[in-house]
Amino acid sequence: MVLQKSLREGFGLTVAEAMWKGTPVIGGNVGGIRRQIADVINGFLVSSKEGTADRIVDLLRYVRLRREIGQRARESVRRSFLLARLMQEYLDLLAEFRPKFQLAGN
């Protein structure tokens, strides 16, 4: 498991890399970490020391939970953050504008 308990955070590469490897992540409920982790689905968002401790214990105690969170984490990174996905979004965006930028007479 990875614990990324930041007070402020942009897009956390540590979080994304751990998730891509199928490692469960416990992250602070701040900034870009909230964009990466869907609480209880593909990781855990925490705001307090007690909540952090509870999630650590849960992941240590429940092997199945640890495995399922890790699998969903990997899938969420694949769907949302890999270069191929981002390139497809850019291509889709460009395709929307193409008709508006054709030269007159064409």
For position 93, which CATH number holds?
3.40.50.2000
**What's the pTM value of the predicted model, to 2 decimals?**
0.75
Query: At 83, is the pLDDT very low, low, confident or very high (cuts 50, 70, 90)?
Result: confident
What pLDDT is stored for residue 102 in this prediction? Answer: 62
d(CA 52, CA 6): 12
* 3-state SS assignment for residue 46: strand
Mapped onto helix, strand or coil, the DSSP state of residue 82 is: coil
Mean pLDDT of the chain: 87
106 occurs within a structural domain: no
Q: What pLDDT band is residue 94 in, cutting at 50, 70 and 90?
A: confident
Is the pLDDT reported for residue 100 higher than 70? no
Number of structural domains the chain divides into: 1
Domain region containing 69 = 2-101
